[in-house]
Structure 1
């Protein structure tokens, strides 16, 4: 009996180290941050460990916080749409390449992830500036007469975030394409289907799970991004992550910063879980 019991408990013992690390590095800090969000704060008295809803009421009633969170999720949605429009065709092309070229292109795709986020974002700042390569190139081609405003705008932030998050979408869609039988396209073509029909009715429905999983990853990372909005957006273009940073390190209002961070986390979890439930329900209705 002891041998049987030890075999039953073996998975729990094997998972225990990982659970302890997760508990110590994720759950406990999140719990402390949530508790901190209910503390009071004053400019002269500092943090006061008394329970209060003042921080949450301030966020709920001040239109400034609503504007910041609206901008945060608007940027995240635009980044997600941009990665879908560019990443899905790119993943399809990547899947059709020969192994040699695919390896080279895969290195190019994941290249942004191999560069420091600060160095990469500063590079985009140099490219998107009024005297940067993008504006100067467009002026040289005669497409514009004056430099476009990319810096300190949502457009610049979306471009920078879409660049760094594109690999997550491409890899997710490419993983779905790996499960497809290449002969399905040939069979559809032999039945008289055109390229657009094959893509819309044969390929796209089967890679939707990859698109959805990539969208969730991209949306969550874009909504919680800090470096790119801080450098490209500047101090005028606040998002939730930079707002929490300012509250922690500039105004030293840690309870309010903790409330902003927890609200962002709760909103992301609610959006991701809600979208998953909606998608699973629609898929269940389709396959019933």
Structure 2
């Protein structure tokens, strides 16, 4: 059938033809592997280390009923929430400054904001060892100044995990808030000021409410990325600071227990996907895409 014929029947194949490379890539690189993970989660690992092809709910029963996994999951959500709130509090001011900066400075500020993305996430995380370690810069300065007599152990706790996550996630938060602020009509603030509002009142009544979509989008992105990471707690955390993704890594890479690791990863994926669906239902997912245009 020709293109004109397909248009006559009301079905245009051209968009699907253009989308077909992307759809095939998503199917092969995302959908198919996810289906394998679902199948793996119902298999069993034998005492010899081999995977037993069967249909069993033992892995899911262990993941859903064992208090150990529940506690780690709660800890993961708590650390991700603390990191997200910190990013929102710290990131709003620089995002506001960039949005309202003179045009000649805005490009430079945006380039500086993008610089962390040019450095490996692992290198950025490990750099904190040189800053906060026993032989790091902070201890060195305090020893030199006579503030302390011996180095302080500042690494390998929950605080450094949150610090590393904030370091990693903050640019995402600033970008989302900036896009939202940059799209606000400046005349609305001017109108509020002309009606007698102070600068703070205009910000509280006009700017802040209109920037909530960007703040929410940045919070969602930071929370999902923070809850799904395992590098930061592995490098900067102690034995009691493991997050749920570390359990997945431990099960699959260290123990080679693919069935259990698949069940763990699917549980985390389902939880984060539910969060994204709730966000999409009430606020829409388009705001996140605007930050990367």
- TM-score (ref. length: structure 1): 0.89
Deviations 1:154-189 (A, max 9, x none): 211111111111111111111112211223222222
Residue from 247, 251, 262 that aligns with 1:243: 247
Shift in Å, 1:42: 2.1
3-state DSSP of counterpart to 1:97:
coil
3-state DSSP of counterpart to 2:82:
helix
Q: Distance in 2 between matches of 1:132 and 1:245?
A: 29
Residue from 154, 166, 169 that aligns with 1:165: 169
Q: Distance in 1 between matches of 2:109 and 2:151?
A: 32
Deviations 1:17-63 (A, max 9, x none): 11110000000001101110110112315210111111111112211
Confirm whether residue 114 of structure 1 aligns to residue 118 of structure 2: yes
Q: Distance in 2 between matches of 1:180 and 1:142?
A: 50
Shift in Å, 1:208: 1.0
Provide closer, same or farther for how the CA distance between residues 98 and 130 of structure 1 changes in structure 2, counting only shifts above 3 A.
same
Shift in Å, 1:130: 3.7
User: Which residue does the alignment assign to 1:26?
Assistant: 30
Shift in Å, 1:132: 2.8
Shift in Å, 1:135: 4.8
Provide closer, same or farther for how the CA distance between residues 144 and 175 of structure 1 changes in structure 2, counting only shifts above 3 A.
farther
Judge which range, 97-106 or 191-200, deviates more.
97-106
Q: Distance in 1 between matches of 2:215 and 2:280?
A: 13
Report if the CA contact (8 A) 1:176-1:206 is conserved: yes
3-state DSSP of counterpart to 2:39:
helix
Q: Distance in 2 between matches of 1:120 and 1:92?
A: 25
Shift in Å, 1:140: 7.1
Provide closer, same or farther for how the CA distance between residues 57 and 274 of structure 1 changes in structure 2, counting only shifts above 3 A.
same
User: Which residue does the alignment assign to 2:16?
Assistant: 12
Provide closer, same or farther for how the CA distance between residues 118 and 187 of structure 1 changes in structure 2, counting only shifts above 3 A.
same
Q: Note the 1:95-110 alignment, pairs <5 A.
A: 95-110=99-114
Judge which range, 123-132 or 62-71, deviates more.
123-132
Shift in Å, 1:150: 3.9
Q: Note the 1:149-164 alignment, pairs <5 A.
A: 150-164=154-168
3-state DSSP of counterpart to 2:51:
strand
User: Alignment RMSD, CA only?
Assistant: 2.3
Deviations 1:59-105 (A, max 9, x none): 12211111111111111111111111111221111112123322222
3-state DSSP of counterpart to 1:152:
coil
- Length, aligned pairs only: 280
User: Which residue does the alignment assign to 2:206?
Assistant: 202
Any stretches of 5+ residues in structure 1 without a counterpart? 281-288
Q: Distance in 2 between matches of 1:188 and 1:136?
A: 51
Residue from 255, 259, 268 that aligns with 1:255: 259
Q: Distance in 1 between matches of 2:71 and 2:52?
A: 28
Q: Distance in 1 between matches of 2:41 and 2:208?
A: 44
Judge which range, 74-83 or 24-33, deviates more.
74-83
Shift in Å, 1:237: 2.1
Q: Distance in 2 between matches of 1:49 and 1:218?
A: 37
Residue from 12, 16, 36 that aligns with 2:40: 36
Confirm whether residue 52 of structure 1 aligns to residue 59 of structure 2: no
User: Which residue does the alignment assign to 1:274?
Assistant: 278
